[in-house]
Amino acid sequence: MHELAVTESLLEIAIRHAQAQNAHRITDLYLVIGKWSSIVDDSVQFYWDIISDGTIAKGATLHFQRVPVVITCQDCGKEYQPASEEFACPHCGGTHAKVKSGDEFRLEAIDVEE
Amino acid sequence: MPQRIPVVEKILSANDRLATENQSRFDSSKVFAINMMASPGAGKTSLVEQTIKGLEGRLRVGMINGDIATSFDADRAQAAGATAIQINTGGDCHLDAVMVQSAISQLDLGVLDLVIIENVGNLVCPADFKLGTHISVLVASVPEGDDKPYKYPGMYRGVNAVVINKIDLLPYVPFRMDFFKKGIEVLNPGVTQFELSCRTGEGLSDWLAWLERQVKEFKAS
């Protein structure tokens, strides 16, 4: 839904880091996106192709690493991936959960050329 | 040869930075700010109205309203007695820190104790954009259905309180309160919850007392 704002931010961060290294071209971006981050890859790619045009990141490839939601049960200590209709622990039925991963939303690295 | 540069930066870091600046402005004026989020029709504006009226004479309330096109909601808040600033997002599905920054400049923070920011009705996008408020409140409602925490975990995870509105409709709508609350409990253990009806007034006093206490504790800190 808000992929344009996300993509603009992505471009700004990538160019800032590339310029800090005196790079003249960005070839690849590595994104880490948790499953609970509401971002549609295709939509980011769509905006990326438009807004990166004319910048040093034109034509760069976006790599999406999707991180699954993993919950640590605070009752039995086991880890599990929640089902869409049921969040409780499948091992013990506990509902004292700690979300271990799935919220990620960051640019991990970029590949650049001098 | 391509060279790998580690970045490790949150994608919305620019918004986050600006949100921190917004919060500093609220802090320096000792104004407590809340970000109120919900789906369209859950009763955000009704809760804002009831809150303004309920706190009349106790707290000075300002309101910032995010709406795609109209000013209906800000008008209602104004009629209820608050200073209200309208932000029309022009199609954007959420408020962001930039929009709130310009709205803050239109408010006289010196004469306010509490600012309620009513976000655009949406259970997805507003969760990702910090505004610089001290707390976030999610307004859920009985007719939306009891599966919403499971469908919108990002929203339910990030809030400080959940208000369940329209409980007067519980006899008429299939809504399993225990199932709904189980989802909230897993996503956001121990989060403050209120069950109320803006229409009948049931349960409102607990919400108002809690909110007033949050503001007083903030001002005393």
Q: For residue A68, what pLDDT is reported?
A: 93
Q: For residue A45, what pLDDT is reported?
A: 92
Q: For residue A1, what pLDDT is reported?
A: 55
B141: which 2 tokens? 């409602």
Q: For residue B135, what pLDDT is reported?
A: 98
Does A28 sit within 8 Å of B11, measured CB to CB? no
Quick one: closest CA in B to A97, which residue? B186
- B55 pLDDT tier (thresholds 50, 70, 90): very high
Region B96-116 average pLDDT = 95
Which residues, 6+ apart, have CB-to-CB distance to B212 below 8 Å? B55, B58, B59
How far lies B30's CA from each of B25, B101, B221, in Å? Answer: 9, 16, 9
Q: Which residues of B touch A88 (CB under 8 A)?
A: 182, 186
* Segment A29-39, tens digit of pLDDT: 999 999 888 78
User: Mean pLDDT over all residues of chain B?
Assistant: 94
Please check the confidence at residue A114 and state whether its pLDDT lies above 70. Answer: yes
- A81 pLDDT tier (thresholds 50, 70, 90): very high
How many Å is the Cα radius of gyration of chain B?
Answer: 18
Please check the confidence at residue B218 and state whether its pLDDT lies above 90. Answer: yes
Supply the pTM of this predicted model: 0.90
Region B161-189 average pLDDT = 95
* Degrees, nearest 5: CA angle B78-B79-B83: 20
Asked if A41 has any chain B CB less than 8 Å from its own CB, the reply is: no
Residue B146 backbone dihedrals phi, psi, to 5 degrees: -85, 0
How far lies B43's CA from each of A34, A97, A101, A109, B199, in Å? Answer: 30, 29, 32, 42, 10
Q: Note whether B8 and A108 are within 8 A (CB).
A: yes
Region A52-57 average pLDDT = 96
Q: For residue B68, what pLDDT is reported?
A: 83
* Mean pLDDT lowest among A71-80, A86-95, B142-151, B182-191: A86-95
- B81 pLDDT tier (thresholds 50, 70, 90): confident
How far lies B217's CA from each of A23, A79, B32, B89, in Å? Answer: 50, 38, 10, 33
Burial B81-96 (b: 16+ CB within 10 A, else e): ebbbbbbebeebbbbb
Q: For residue B73, what pLDDT is reported?
A: 87
Region B115-125 average pLDDT = 93
* Closest CA of chain A from B221, distance in Å: 30
* Closest CA of chain A from B89, distance in Å: 12
Asked if A34 has any chain B CB less than 8 Å from its own CB, the reply is: no
Strands A25-34 and B61-67 come out as: unpaired
* Closest CA of chain B from A107, distance in Å: 5
Residue of A48, A51, A60, A67 whose CA lies nearest to A111: A60
For residue B42, the one-letter residue type is A
Asked if A22 has any chain B CB less than 8 Å from its own CB, the reply is: no
Q: For residue B20, what pLDDT is reported?
A: 97
Looking at the DSSP bridge assignments, the partners of residue B193 are B162
B152: which 2 tokens? 């919108």
- A106 pLDDT tier (thresholds 50, 70, 90): very high
Does B154 sit within 8 Å of A103, measured CB to CB? yes
Region B28-54 average pLDDT = 96
B63: which 2 tokens? 């309101």
Q: Which residues of A touch B92 (CB under 8 A)?
A: 2, 5
